[in-house]
Chain A
Amino acid sequence: MTVQEFYEEVGGDYNEIMSRLRTEDRIRKFAGMFTRDESYKSLVQCINDGNADDAFRAAHTMKGMCQNMAFTRLYKSSHEITEILRGKDLEGAKQMLGVVTEDYNVVIAGIEKLLA
Protein backbone atom coordinates (compact mmCIF):
# COMPACT_ATOMS: atom_id res chain seq x y z
CA MET A 1 0.00 0.00 0.00
CA THR A 2 1.38 3.45 -0.87
CA VAL A 3 1.26 6.35 1.52
CA GLN A 4 -1.11 8.15 -0.81
CA GLU A 5 -3.50 5.18 -0.93
CA PHE A 6 -3.32 4.96 2.84
CA TYR A 7 -4.31 8.62 3.28
CA GLU A 8 -7.22 8.16 0.89
CA GLU A 9 -8.42 5.12 2.81
CA VAL A 10 -8.34 6.72 6.28
CA GLY A 11 -9.77 10.07 5.16
CA GLY A 12 -6.57 12.05 5.50
CA ASP A 13 -4.88 14.78 3.48
CA TYR A 14 -1.89 13.35 1.62
CA ASN A 15 -0.83 16.63 0.00
CA GLU A 16 -0.80 18.45 3.29
CA ILE A 17 1.27 15.84 5.09
CA MET A 18 3.74 15.67 2.20
CA SER A 19 4.13 19.45 2.21
CA ARG A 20 5.09 19.33 5.86
CA LEU A 21 6.99 16.09 6.34
CA ARG A 22 8.54 15.99 2.86
CA THR A 23 9.38 12.26 2.64
CA GLU A 24 7.20 9.13 2.69
CA ASP A 25 9.77 7.41 4.92
CA ARG A 26 9.25 10.03 7.54
CA ILE A 27 5.47 9.75 7.26
CA ARG A 28 5.73 5.98 7.78
CA LYS A 29 7.89 6.53 10.85
CA PHE A 30 5.38 8.95 12.34
CA ALA A 31 2.50 6.61 11.50
CA GLY A 32 4.28 3.91 13.50
CA MET A 33 4.50 6.24 16.45
CA PHE A 34 0.81 6.96 16.17
CA THR A 35 -0.06 3.30 16.77
CA ARG A 36 2.07 3.27 19.93
CA ASP A 37 0.41 6.33 21.43
CA GLU A 38 -1.91 5.58 24.35
CA SER A 39 -4.17 8.63 24.20
CA TYR A 40 -7.08 6.73 22.67
CA LYS A 41 -6.87 3.98 25.29
CA SER A 42 -6.67 6.59 27.99
CA LEU A 43 -9.67 8.43 26.55
CA VAL A 44 -11.85 5.30 26.67
CA GLN A 45 -10.63 4.41 30.14
CA CYS A 46 -11.22 7.91 31.58
CA ILE A 47 -14.72 8.17 30.10
CA ASN A 48 -15.61 4.80 31.62
CA ASP A 49 -14.10 5.91 34.96
CA GLY A 50 -16.11 9.14 34.80
CA ASN A 51 -12.92 11.24 34.91
CA ALA A 52 -13.84 14.16 32.66
CA ASP A 53 -10.64 16.19 33.21
CA ASP A 54 -8.22 13.46 32.19
CA ALA A 55 -10.56 12.38 29.39
CA PHE A 56 -10.44 15.94 28.09
CA ARG A 57 -6.65 15.96 28.13
CA ALA A 58 -6.43 12.58 26.35
CA ALA A 59 -8.89 13.72 23.67
CA HIS A 60 -6.99 16.98 23.31
CA THR A 61 -3.68 15.16 22.81
CA MET A 62 -5.27 12.85 20.27
CA LYS A 63 -6.72 15.76 18.37
CA GLY A 64 -3.29 17.44 18.27
CA MET A 65 -1.66 14.32 16.87
CA CYS A 66 -4.32 14.01 14.18
CA GLN A 67 -3.69 17.64 13.21
CA ASN A 68 0.00 16.90 12.93
CA MET A 69 -0.60 13.72 10.93
CA ALA A 70 -3.29 15.31 8.72
CA PHE A 71 -5.75 12.51 9.65
CA THR A 72 -8.62 14.80 8.77
CA ARG A 73 -11.55 12.48 9.51
CA LEU A 74 -10.25 11.33 12.90
CA TYR A 75 -9.24 14.91 13.65
CA LYS A 76 -12.85 16.03 13.18
CA SER A 77 -14.36 13.44 15.51
CA SER A 78 -11.63 13.82 18.16
CA HIS A 79 -12.05 17.58 17.98
CA GLU A 80 -15.76 17.17 18.60
CA ILE A 81 -15.28 14.93 21.61
CA THR A 82 -12.64 17.29 22.97
CA GLU A 83 -15.11 20.15 22.92
CA ILE A 84 -17.80 17.99 24.55
CA LEU A 85 -15.33 17.07 27.31
CA ARG A 86 -14.19 20.65 27.73
CA GLY A 87 -17.75 21.21 28.95
CA LYS A 88 -17.34 18.12 31.21
CA ASP A 89 -20.31 16.44 29.49
CA LEU A 90 -19.48 12.77 30.08
CA GLU A 91 -22.84 11.52 28.74
CA GLY A 92 -22.34 13.42 25.48
CA ALA A 93 -18.80 12.06 25.28
CA LYS A 94 -20.05 8.48 25.65
CA GLN A 95 -22.36 8.98 22.71
CA MET A 96 -19.58 10.54 20.63
CA LEU A 97 -17.03 7.86 21.56
CA GLY A 98 -18.58 5.42 19.07
CA VAL A 99 -17.73 7.65 16.11
CA VAL A 100 -14.24 8.32 17.43
CA THR A 101 -13.61 4.61 17.91
CA GLU A 102 -14.81 3.84 14.39
CA ASP A 103 -12.51 6.49 12.85
CA TYR A 104 -9.62 5.45 15.09
CA ASN A 105 -9.91 1.79 14.12
CA VAL A 106 -9.87 2.69 10.43
CA VAL A 107 -6.63 4.64 10.92
CA ILE A 108 -4.97 1.89 12.97
CA ALA A 109 -5.98 -0.80 10.47
CA GLY A 110 -4.69 1.40 7.65
CA ILE A 111 -1.33 1.93 9.36
CA GLU A 112 -0.96 -1.82 9.90
CA LYS A 113 -1.46 -2.37 6.20
CA LEU A 114 0.88 0.51 5.32
CA LEU A 115 3.69 -0.80 7.48
CA ALA A 116 3.15 -4.49 6.65
Chain B
Amino acid sequence: METTKATETIEKNTILIADDAEINREMIKFIFDEQYHIIEAEDGEQAINIITEYSDKLCLLFLDLLMPKKSGLDVLSFMNEEDYINYIPVIMITGEATDETDEKAYELGASDIIYKPFAPNVVMRRAKNIMELFEHRIYVERKLEKRTRQLRESREKLERSNEFLVNALSSVVEFRSLESGEHIQRVKYFTKLFLKYIMKFYPKYGITKEKASLIVNASALHDIGKIAIPDSILLKPGKLTSEEFEEMKKHTIYGCELLEKFKQDENEFYHYCYDICRYHHERHDGKGYPDGLKGDDIPIWAQIVSVVDVYDALVSKRVYKDPFAVEEAARMIIDGECGLFSPEMLDCFGLAKQELFAVTEGEFSFADVMVK
Protein backbone atom coordinates (compact mmCIF):
# COMPACT_ATOMS: atom_id res chain seq x y z
CA MET B 1 0.00 0.00 0.00
CA GLU B 2 2.76 2.41 0.97
CA THR B 3 4.46 1.96 -2.38
CA THR B 4 1.28 2.67 -4.31
CA LYS B 5 0.78 5.82 -2.32
CA ALA B 6 4.30 6.99 -2.99
CA THR B 7 3.97 6.43 -6.73
CA GLU B 8 0.68 8.26 -6.76
CA THR B 9 2.30 11.29 -5.20
CA ILE B 10 5.07 11.43 -7.75
CA GLU B 11 3.05 10.56 -10.81
CA LYS B 12 1.05 13.40 -12.21
CA ASN B 13 -1.93 11.60 -13.62
CA THR B 14 -4.93 13.41 -12.23
CA ILE B 15 -7.24 15.46 -14.41
CA LEU B 16 -9.50 18.09 -12.87
CA ILE B 17 -12.78 18.80 -14.65
CA ALA B 18 -14.48 22.00 -13.56
CA ASP B 19 -18.00 22.52 -14.94
CA ASP B 20 -21.25 23.28 -13.17
CA ALA B 21 -23.28 20.68 -15.13
CA GLU B 22 -22.70 17.04 -14.26
CA ILE B 23 -23.53 15.96 -17.77
CA ASN B 24 -20.79 18.19 -19.20
CA ARG B 25 -18.24 16.86 -16.73
CA GLU B 26 -19.27 13.32 -17.57
CA MET B 27 -18.81 14.03 -21.30
CA ILE B 28 -15.12 14.63 -20.66
CA LYS B 29 -14.73 12.15 -17.84
CA PHE B 30 -15.70 9.09 -19.90
CA ILE B 31 -12.97 9.95 -22.42
CA PHE B 32 -10.22 9.89 -19.81
CA ASP B 33 -11.30 7.81 -16.84
CA GLU B 34 -9.68 4.62 -18.05
CA GLN B 35 -6.21 6.14 -18.15
CA TYR B 36 -6.38 8.94 -15.63
CA HIS B 37 -7.59 9.68 -12.16
CA ILE B 38 -10.41 12.24 -12.38
CA ILE B 39 -11.43 14.88 -9.86
CA GLU B 40 -14.52 17.03 -10.46
CA ALA B 41 -15.41 20.56 -9.39
CA GLU B 42 -18.92 22.01 -9.63
CA ASP B 43 -17.89 25.65 -9.45
CA GLY B 44 -14.86 27.93 -9.61
CA GLU B 45 -14.36 28.03 -5.88
CA GLN B 46 -14.16 24.23 -5.63
CA ALA B 47 -11.78 24.22 -8.57
CA ILE B 48 -9.44 26.65 -6.78
CA ASN B 49 -9.49 24.54 -3.60
CA ILE B 50 -8.71 21.37 -5.52
CA ILE B 51 -5.88 23.02 -7.46
CA THR B 52 -4.36 24.19 -4.18
CA GLU B 53 -4.62 20.76 -2.59
CA TYR B 54 -3.63 18.57 -5.55
CA SER B 55 -1.34 20.89 -7.51
CA ASP B 56 1.51 18.36 -7.62
CA LYS B 57 -0.74 15.61 -8.99
CA LEU B 58 -2.70 17.52 -11.61
CA CYS B 59 -1.60 16.98 -15.19
CA LEU B 60 -4.50 18.81 -16.84
CA LEU B 61 -7.45 21.04 -16.08
CA PHE B 62 -10.64 21.23 -18.15
CA LEU B 63 -12.25 24.51 -17.28
CA ASP B 64 -15.74 25.77 -18.05
CA LEU B 65 -15.97 29.49 -18.61
CA LEU B 66 -19.29 30.24 -16.95
CA MET B 67 -19.61 28.80 -13.46
CA PRO B 68 -21.22 29.88 -10.17
CA LYS B 69 -19.19 31.55 -7.38
CA LYS B 70 -16.00 31.94 -9.42
CA SER B 71 -15.85 31.97 -13.20
CA GLY B 72 -13.33 30.13 -15.35
CA LEU B 73 -11.45 33.38 -15.87
CA ASP B 74 -11.30 33.88 -12.08
CA VAL B 75 -9.74 30.42 -11.77
CA LEU B 76 -7.19 31.31 -14.46
CA SER B 77 -6.32 34.57 -12.68
CA PHE B 78 -5.82 32.67 -9.45
CA MET B 79 -3.54 30.19 -11.23
CA ASN B 80 -1.48 33.07 -12.54
CA GLU B 81 -1.14 34.68 -9.12
CA GLU B 82 0.02 31.41 -7.59
CA ASP B 83 2.15 30.38 -10.59
CA TYR B 84 0.21 27.13 -11.10
CA ILE B 85 -0.36 28.20 -14.70
CA ASN B 86 3.23 27.27 -15.54
CA TYR B 87 2.86 23.71 -14.28
CA ILE B 88 -0.75 22.71 -14.95
CA PRO B 89 -2.03 23.03 -18.52
CA VAL B 90 -5.57 24.37 -18.90
CA ILE B 91 -8.07 23.59 -21.65
CA MET B 92 -11.11 25.84 -21.70
CA ILE B 93 -14.45 24.31 -22.60
CA THR B 94 -17.02 26.68 -23.98
CA GLY B 95 -20.32 26.70 -25.83
CA GLU B 96 -19.58 29.46 -28.25
CA ALA B 97 -16.58 31.24 -29.64
CA THR B 98 -16.51 34.85 -28.50
CA ASP B 99 -13.29 36.50 -29.54
CA GLU B 100 -13.22 38.61 -26.43
CA THR B 101 -13.31 35.83 -23.83
CA ASP B 102 -11.16 33.55 -25.99
CA GLU B 103 -8.51 36.23 -26.20
CA LYS B 104 -8.74 36.81 -22.46
CA ALA B 105 -8.42 33.08 -21.71
CA TYR B 106 -5.33 32.77 -23.92
CA GLU B 107 -3.87 35.88 -22.34
CA LEU B 108 -4.32 34.28 -18.92
CA GLY B 109 -2.39 31.25 -20.07
CA ALA B 110 -5.00 28.75 -21.24
CA SER B 111 -3.34 26.26 -23.58
CA ASP B 112 -6.35 25.54 -25.74
CA ILE B 113 -10.07 26.22 -26.13
CA ILE B 114 -12.46 23.45 -27.11
CA TYR B 115 -16.00 24.21 -28.26
CA LYS B 116 -19.07 22.15 -27.47
CA PRO B 117 -20.06 19.74 -28.81
CA PHE B 118 -16.71 18.04 -29.10
CA ALA B 119 -15.58 14.71 -30.55
CA PRO B 120 -13.99 12.52 -27.84
CA ASN B 121 -11.04 11.36 -29.94
CA VAL B 122 -10.17 14.92 -30.88
CA VAL B 123 -10.34 16.05 -27.25
CA MET B 124 -8.16 13.10 -26.24
CA ARG B 125 -5.58 13.88 -28.93
CA ARG B 126 -5.39 17.56 -28.12
CA ALA B 127 -5.24 16.93 -24.37
CA LYS B 128 -2.40 14.43 -24.78
CA ASN B 129 -0.42 16.79 -26.99
CA ILE B 130 -0.73 19.56 -24.46
CA MET B 131 0.21 17.34 -21.52
CA GLU B 132 3.25 16.04 -23.39
CA LEU B 133 4.33 19.55 -24.22
CA PHE B 134 4.06 20.66 -20.60
CA GLU B 135 5.79 17.59 -19.27
CA HIS B 136 8.62 18.08 -21.69
CA ARG B 137 8.97 21.76 -20.91
CA ILE B 138 9.03 21.16 -17.17
CA TYR B 139 11.56 18.36 -17.66
CA VAL B 140 13.83 20.56 -19.75
CA GLU B 141 13.55 23.43 -17.27
CA ARG B 142 14.44 21.19 -14.33
CA LYS B 143 17.37 19.72 -16.23
CA LEU B 144 18.63 23.17 -17.14
CA GLU B 145 18.28 24.34 -13.54
CA LYS B 146 20.27 21.37 -12.32
CA ARG B 147 22.96 21.88 -14.95
CA THR B 148 23.24 25.59 -14.14
CA ARG B 149 23.61 24.79 -10.46
CA GLN B 150 26.31 22.21 -11.16
CA LEU B 151 28.18 24.65 -13.38
CA ARG B 152 28.03 27.37 -10.77
CA GLU B 153 29.25 25.02 -8.08
CA SER B 154 32.20 23.78 -10.08
CA ARG B 155 33.09 27.34 -11.06
CA GLU B 156 33.04 28.42 -7.43
CA LYS B 157 35.20 25.47 -6.51
CA LEU B 158 37.67 26.37 -9.23
CA GLU B 159 37.74 29.99 -8.09
CA ARG B 160 38.46 28.93 -4.53
CA SER B 161 41.29 26.65 -5.67
CA ASN B 162 42.67 29.44 -7.80
CA GLU B 163 42.62 31.89 -4.96
CA PHE B 164 44.28 29.36 -2.71
CA LEU B 165 47.10 28.76 -5.19
CA VAL B 166 47.65 32.47 -5.83
CA ASN B 167 47.76 33.14 -2.09
CA ALA B 168 50.17 30.29 -1.50
CA LEU B 169 52.43 31.44 -4.30
CA SER B 170 52.43 35.08 -3.19
CA SER B 171 53.20 34.21 0.39
CA VAL B 172 56.45 32.53 -0.69
CA VAL B 173 58.07 35.96 -0.96
CA GLU B 174 56.56 37.17 2.28
CA PHE B 175 57.74 34.06 4.02
CA ARG B 176 61.26 34.71 2.89
CA SER B 177 61.45 38.41 3.65
CA LEU B 178 59.72 38.06 7.02
CA GLU B 179 59.17 41.73 6.63
CA SER B 180 55.58 42.70 6.46
CA GLY B 181 53.43 40.09 8.10
CA GLU B 182 50.25 39.89 6.12
CA HIS B 183 51.04 42.62 3.68
CA ILE B 184 49.59 40.63 0.80
CA GLN B 185 46.24 40.03 2.48
CA ARG B 186 46.00 43.75 3.20
CA VAL B 187 46.95 44.76 -0.35
CA LYS B 188 44.21 42.47 -1.62
CA TYR B 189 41.69 43.90 0.80
CA PHE B 190 42.66 47.51 0.06
CA THR B 191 42.55 46.84 -3.68
CA LYS B 192 39.04 45.50 -3.30
CA LEU B 193 37.97 48.57 -1.34
CA PHE B 194 39.55 50.86 -3.90
CA LEU B 195 37.88 49.09 -6.81
CA LYS B 196 34.51 49.60 -5.16
CA TYR B 197 34.97 53.36 -5.46
CA ILE B 198 36.47 53.16 -8.94
CA MET B 199 33.43 51.22 -10.17
CA LYS B 200 31.03 53.65 -8.52
CA PHE B 201 32.63 56.96 -9.47
CA TYR B 202 34.80 56.18 -12.50
CA PRO B 203 32.78 54.02 -14.87
CA LYS B 204 35.08 55.29 -17.65
CA TYR B 205 37.62 52.65 -16.64
CA GLY B 206 35.10 49.93 -17.47
CA ILE B 207 35.75 47.84 -14.36
CA THR B 208 33.04 45.22 -13.87
CA LYS B 209 32.45 42.99 -10.86
CA GLU B 210 34.10 40.08 -12.68
CA LYS B 211 37.16 42.12 -13.65
CA ALA B 212 37.41 43.50 -10.12
CA SER B 213 37.54 40.03 -8.63
CA LEU B 214 40.34 39.03 -11.03
CA ILE B 215 42.28 42.22 -10.26
CA VAL B 216 42.00 41.61 -6.50
CA ASN B 217 43.43 38.14 -6.98
CA ALA B 218 46.19 39.42 -9.27
CA SER B 219 47.18 42.11 -6.76
CA ALA B 220 48.47 39.35 -4.48
CA LEU B 221 51.25 38.65 -6.96
CA HIS B 222 52.58 42.23 -7.25
CA ASP B 223 55.88 41.47 -5.49
CA ILE B 224 56.37 37.92 -6.76
CA GLY B 225 59.58 39.04 -8.51
CA LYS B 226 61.22 39.64 -5.14
CA ILE B 227 61.86 35.90 -5.05
CA ALA B 228 64.79 36.58 -7.41
CA ILE B 229 66.33 39.31 -5.22
CA PRO B 230 69.33 38.06 -3.21
CA ASP B 231 69.00 37.80 0.58
CA SER B 232 71.79 40.36 1.04
CA ILE B 233 69.53 42.99 -0.48
CA LEU B 234 66.03 41.76 0.34
CA LEU B 235 66.83 41.14 4.00
CA LYS B 236 69.31 44.00 4.50
CA PRO B 237 68.60 45.80 7.79
CA GLY B 238 68.91 49.45 6.88
CA LYS B 239 68.97 51.63 3.80
CA LEU B 240 70.04 50.20 0.46
CA THR B 241 72.94 51.63 -1.52
CA SER B 242 71.95 53.07 -4.89
CA GLU B 243 73.41 49.98 -6.56
CA GLU B 244 71.39 47.69 -4.31
CA PHE B 245 68.31 49.80 -4.93
CA GLU B 246 68.78 49.43 -8.71
CA GLU B 247 68.81 45.65 -8.21
CA MET B 248 65.79 45.83 -5.92
CA LYS B 249 63.86 47.76 -8.61
CA LYS B 250 64.31 44.81 -10.93
CA HIS B 251 61.79 42.76 -8.95
CA THR B 252 59.19 44.22 -11.29
CA ILE B 253 61.01 42.75 -14.30
CA TYR B 254 61.82 39.47 -12.58
CA GLY B 255 58.16 39.01 -11.70
CA CYS B 256 57.19 39.40 -15.35
CA GLU B 257 59.93 37.02 -16.52
CA LEU B 258 58.57 34.45 -14.14
CA LEU B 259 55.00 34.90 -15.35
CA GLU B 260 56.01 34.89 -19.03
CA LYS B 261 57.18 31.30 -18.67
CA PHE B 262 53.52 30.41 -18.29
CA LYS B 263 52.13 33.01 -20.63
CA GLN B 264 48.41 32.79 -21.42
CA ASP B 265 47.85 35.52 -23.94
CA GLU B 266 44.13 35.03 -24.20
CA ASN B 267 43.65 34.98 -20.43
CA GLU B 268 42.52 38.26 -18.90
CA PHE B 269 43.84 37.22 -15.48
CA TYR B 270 47.35 36.70 -16.89
CA HIS B 271 47.41 40.27 -18.18
CA TYR B 272 46.29 41.71 -14.86
CA CYS B 273 49.04 39.75 -13.10
CA TYR B 274 51.63 40.84 -15.65
CA ASP B 275 50.62 44.52 -15.62
CA ILE B 276 50.48 44.68 -11.84
CA CYS B 277 53.87 42.99 -11.42
CA ARG B 278 55.52 45.24 -13.95
CA TYR B 279 53.89 48.61 -13.40
CA HIS B 280 53.08 48.89 -9.72
CA HIS B 281 56.10 51.19 -9.23
CA GLU B 282 55.36 53.50 -12.15
CA ARG B 283 54.47 57.14 -11.39
CA HIS B 284 51.86 59.43 -12.90
CA ASP B 285 54.60 61.90 -13.90
CA GLY B 286 56.61 59.23 -15.73
CA LYS B 287 59.38 59.15 -13.13
CA GLY B 288 58.66 55.65 -11.85
CA TYR B 289 60.22 52.36 -12.86
CA PRO B 290 60.90 50.11 -14.73
CA ASP B 291 59.49 51.65 -17.96
CA GLY B 292 58.80 55.26 -16.99
CA LEU B 293 55.20 55.09 -18.19
CA LYS B 294 53.13 58.24 -17.81
CA GLY B 295 49.52 58.99 -16.82
CA ASP B 296 46.94 56.54 -18.02
CA ASP B 297 49.54 54.61 -20.05
CA ILE B 298 49.93 52.87 -16.71
CA PRO B 299 47.10 50.34 -16.56
CA ILE B 300 44.48 51.39 -14.02
CA TRP B 301 44.87 48.12 -12.05
CA ALA B 302 48.59 48.77 -11.64
CA GLN B 303 47.85 52.34 -10.50
CA ILE B 304 45.47 51.03 -7.84
CA VAL B 305 47.90 48.43 -6.50
CA SER B 306 50.58 51.12 -6.53
CA VAL B 307 48.60 53.42 -4.21
CA VAL B 308 47.54 50.69 -1.79
CA ASP B 309 51.08 49.25 -1.77
CA VAL B 310 52.52 52.65 -0.83
CA TYR B 311 49.84 53.20 1.81
CA ASP B 312 50.46 49.80 3.36
CA ALA B 313 54.23 50.33 3.33
CA LEU B 314 53.77 53.66 5.13
CA VAL B 315 51.56 52.31 7.89
CA SER B 316 53.71 49.18 8.36
CA LYS B 317 56.85 48.81 10.37
CA ARG B 318 59.95 48.11 8.32
CA VAL B 319 63.45 47.16 9.44
CA TYR B 320 64.54 50.65 8.42
CA LYS B 321 61.52 52.67 9.65
CA ASP B 322 58.72 52.97 12.17
CA PRO B 323 55.11 52.90 10.97
CA PHE B 324 53.35 56.19 10.23
CA ALA B 325 49.96 56.94 11.71
CA VAL B 326 47.15 56.41 9.22
CA GLU B 327 46.24 60.13 8.95
CA GLU B 328 49.86 61.03 8.38
CA ALA B 329 50.29 58.30 5.77
CA ALA B 330 47.20 59.54 3.94
CA ARG B 331 48.44 63.14 4.03
CA MET B 332 51.81 62.09 2.59
CA ILE B 333 50.10 60.30 -0.30
CA ILE B 334 47.69 63.14 -1.05
CA ASP B 335 50.46 65.77 -0.84
CA GLY B 336 52.63 63.74 -3.19
CA GLU B 337 55.39 63.20 -0.64
CA CYS B 338 55.41 59.50 -1.31
CA GLY B 339 54.78 58.49 -4.88
CA LEU B 340 52.82 60.52 -7.40
CA PHE B 341 49.36 59.48 -8.44
CA SER B 342 46.71 60.59 -10.91
CA PRO B 343 43.95 62.98 -9.74
CA GLU B 344 41.45 60.12 -10.14
CA MET B 345 43.50 57.83 -7.90
CA LEU B 346 43.86 60.55 -5.28
CA ASP B 347 40.14 61.27 -5.45
CA CYS B 348 39.36 57.60 -4.86
CA PHE B 349 41.95 57.43 -2.13
CA GLY B 350 40.20 60.35 -0.41
CA LEU B 351 36.88 58.53 -0.71
CA ALA B 352 38.23 55.18 0.49
CA LYS B 353 40.46 56.70 3.20
CA GLN B 354 38.14 56.26 6.19
CA GLU B 355 37.45 52.67 5.28
CA LEU B 356 41.16 52.01 4.78
CA PHE B 357 41.84 53.48 8.23
CA ALA B 358 39.16 51.35 9.82
CA VAL B 359 40.62 48.24 8.24
CA THR B 360 44.19 49.16 9.09
CA GLU B 361 43.27 49.71 12.71
CA GLY B 362 40.68 46.97 12.82
CA GLU B 363 40.63 43.45 11.50
CA PHE B 364 43.93 43.76 9.62
CA SER B 365 45.84 45.54 12.36
CA PHE B 366 49.02 43.74 13.29
CA ALA B 367 51.88 44.09 15.69
CA ASP B 368 53.80 45.96 13.02
CA VAL B 369 51.12 48.61 12.60
CA MET B 370 51.12 51.47 15.05
CA VAL B 371 47.68 51.97 16.46
CA LYS B 372 46.92 55.53 17.44
Contact = CB atoms under 8 A, between A and B. Distances in A.
Interface of A: 16, 19-22, 26, 29-30, 33-34, 36-37, 39, 57, 60-61, 63-65, 67-70
Interface stretch (B51-59, B117-125, B259-267, B290-298): B117-125
B119 A37 contact: no
Nearest to B64: A64
Contacts of A37: 21-23
6 contacts: A21-B120, A37-B21, A65-B24, A68-B24, A68-B27, A68-B116
Contacts of B66: 57, 60-61
Interface of B: 20-24, 26-27, 30, 64, 66, 68, 95, 116-120
Contacts of B119: 19-20
Contacts of B26: 29-30, 33
A88 to B, nearest CB: 15
A36 B120 CA distance: 23
Contact of A30 (B27, B95, B116): B27
Contacts of B116: 64, 67-68
B22 A33 contact: yes
* Secondary structure type dominating chain A contacts: helix
A64 B24 CA distance: 8
A30 B298 CA distance: 87
Contacts of B68: 57
Contacts of A57: 20, 66, 68
A60 B95 contact: yes
A83 to B, nearest CB: 10
A64 B21 contact: yes
Given A57-B66, A60-B95, A63-B95, A34 B23 contact: yes
B96 to A, nearest CB: 8
Contacts of A63: 95
B117 A16 contact: yes
Contacts of A30: 23, 26-27
Contacts of A60: 66, 95
A61 B20 contact: yes
A34 B23 CA distance: 7
A44 B117 CA distance: 25
A20 B117 contact: yes
Contacts of A22: 120
Contacts of B64: 64
Given A20-B120, A33-B22, A61-B24, 15 more contacts: A16-B117, A22-B120, A29-B26, A30-B26, A30-B27, A33-B26, A37-B22, A37-B23, A57-B66, A60-B66, A61-B20, A64-B21, A64-B24, A64-B116, A67-B95
B22 A64 contact: no
Contacts of A19: 119
Nearest to B65: A60
B95 A64 contact: yes
Nearest to B119: A20
Contacts of A21: 120
Contacts of B120: 20-22
B228 to A, nearest CB: 90
B117 A65 contact: no
B117 A36 contact: no
Nearest to B22: A33
Contact of A65 (B21, B30, B118): B21
A67 B117 contact: yes
A76 B118 CA distance: 18
Nearest to A20: B119
A111 to B, nearest CB: 12
A63 B64 CA distance: 13
B21, B22, B120: which has the most chain A beta carbons within 10 Å? B21
